[in-house]
Amino acid sequence: MSDSAVQPKTTDIPTEQVRALLLRRDEAIIADVREEAAYAQGHPLWAANFPLSRLELDVWRRIPRRDTLVVVYGDANAPAARAFDVLRRLGYRRVRGLLGGLDGWVASGGELFQDVNVPSKAFGELVESVKHTPSLTAQQVQALIDSGEHAVIVDVRRFDEFHTMSIPTATSVPGGELALRARELAPDPTTRIVVNCAGRTRSIIGTQSLINAGLPNPVVALRNGTIGWTLAGQRLDHGATAAAPDTVTESHRALARAGAHAIAQRAGVRFVRSADLAGLHRPDRTTYVFDVRSAAEFARGHLDGSRHAPGGQLVQETDHYAPVRGARILLVDDDGVRAAMTGSWLAQMGWDTWAISPAAPEDLTRQGEEPDPVPEPPRADTVHAGTLSDWLGADDLHTVVLDVATSRDYASGHVPGAWYAIRSQLRAALDSTGRADRFVVTSQTGVLARFAAADLRELTDAAVFALDGGTAAWRTVAPLEVDGARYAVAPTDHYRRPYEGTDNAQSAMEAYLAWEFGLVEQLERDGTHHFRVA
């Protein structure tokens, strides 16, 4: 349902103007402030999800320049007007409402895309349609395994996804690492390499990466990934740990570097040195700087001002990492392969892409993780975990605990008796929890809880506290509860992907594949993508 009736009319921007901005590649962001499950039901191609419930925690990192044009829409549970106010308080000077909200977008002829990370998935389908990326069915790959033919199956998802479920005999090689490490796994150029993911996108991009980089081996994608494997009635492994070698021989690195740079230059990536960075950073231009190596490498030493974004996931989830369309992206590695290969795909997706590939060792000196920039939370009365434990065991006052963490975090363990709630839906949550003499709000670390506690104080006459240190602090004094979940509102903060987990309905998996096959036609109807397959 649209919230156009409550948007600030004096600052609305017509949908035709937004479309013109996208076509001109002007810097702008369309921010959908609904929860992820609602967002996944339909949104413009370049709309990025910024749930109102955690807007303060995400926006400074994802929209670093405060003068960026931010176009906002929401729904009744996450009104655009509230997001507008939050963004203005956080210093964003060019915030506009989308005229008519999502209904206005549709009424003007705008295309709606379902699911999440749609630009990347649609681009993957376009790549396959243009390059005719070779693939084998699940049955053909099973026959390959059964025949004993020497072949290497590489799983290009995150390691945690691979560990949950994988093709038998597969090795984990996250997509951004593939061009660098493939020769270590298959040094014989006659060895067939089969690339798989959960569905289609990452296996298509991984397969085509190896082909584009000039790998001499025959390379194919597993058609439809683990979804196709499951639909074929074939067995998946669980708990697999096989991973590519950490070391790469210099001869293999040199071949990978030459191939990655060749495709990157053909795609339009520009290479710079760290000494040239001052000229890239402009006050009127958003520049994202991503280190595309592994998390461990990033922690050991990275370029000051860069953020970690493994290359395969950056291509798969570009709208999450770099939501400002029209921004500049600068990629960093230390091997001359990973940033170049990642950049080749981002450039084909229409991004102004630059790379330091490789960076000099003296450039990668900042250690540890980069903290997210977050505004100072509102003042709140706080309670220590030990005191809360006493309160929950007392009979004099009725204490209700509201957990505003993600539904996944809540389900994995929460304060005993706590209710799950979404911060932007606290009014509805109170209808479920009933009367309380005092409320205690918690989240994983307690930061989001303080923002939620400030909101809750405006909705109730009861005393409101934030749990000092959040649920992590409770864990130090008492066990968490896993059973006995209490949902004060529906857990719409997470959209269940049809390809994640091991208990998906067959109909959902089949529908997902059918949806992916139709993305190329949707791109043509939408017309704002600027994709160019090199």
The H or E element containing residue 370 is none
Q: Is 270 left (phi over 0), alpha (psi -120 to 50) or beta?
A: beta
pLDDT of amino acid 44: 98
Whole-number Å distance between alpha carbons of 511 and 496? 14
Find out whether 303 and 281 touch, Cβ atoms under 8 Å: no
Domain boundaries, the chain: 4-116, 123-248, 259-363, 382-487
pLDDT of amino acid 281: 84
pLDDT digits (tens, 9 = 90+) for 256-309: 999 999 999 999 999 999 888 888 888 899 999 999 999 999 999 999 999 999
10 has a pLDDT exceeding 90: no
pLDDT of amino acid 6: 43
Q: Could you please report the per-residue DSSP string of 133-161?
A: --EE-HHHHHHHHHHT--EEEEE-S-HHH
pLDDT bucket at 502, cuts 50 / 70 / 90: low
Q: At 296, phi and psi to the nearest 5?
A: -65, -40
Architecture per CATH, 123-248: 3-Layer(aba) Sandwich (3.40)
Is the domain 259-363 a CATH 3.40.250.10 member? yes
Whole-number Å distance between alpha carbons of 196 and 175? 10
Which amino acid, one-letter code, is at 222? Answer: L
Average pLDDT over residues 350-364: 97
Average pLDDT over residues 464-491: 96
pLDDT digits (tens, 9 = 90+) for 173-219: 999 999 999 999 999 999 999 999 999 999 999 999 999 999 999 99
pLDDT bucket at 370, cuts 50 / 70 / 90: confident
Q: Which residue from 283, 281, 324 is spatially nearest to 305, judged by alpha carbons?
A: 281
Q: Is the pTM of this model over 0.85?
A: yes
Architecture per CATH, 382-487: 3-Layer(aba) Sandwich (3.40)
User: In sequence order, which residues have a C-beta less than 8 Å from that of residue 233 and are 6 or more positions away?
Assistant: none
Average pLDDT, rounded, for the chain: 95
pLDDT of amino acid 506: 87
pLDDT digits (tens, 9 = 90+) for 134-161: 999 999 999 999 999 999 999 999 999 9
Given this chain, do its domains 4-116 and 382-487 carry the same CATH topology?
A: yes
The H or E element containing residue 480 is none
How is residue 448 written in tokens?
């989001």
pLDDT of amino acid 120: 98
The end-to-end CA distance of the chain, in Å, is: 40
pLDDT of amino acid 155: 98
Residue position matching structure tokens 């609904």: 34
Is the domain 4-116 a CATH 3.40.250.10 member? yes
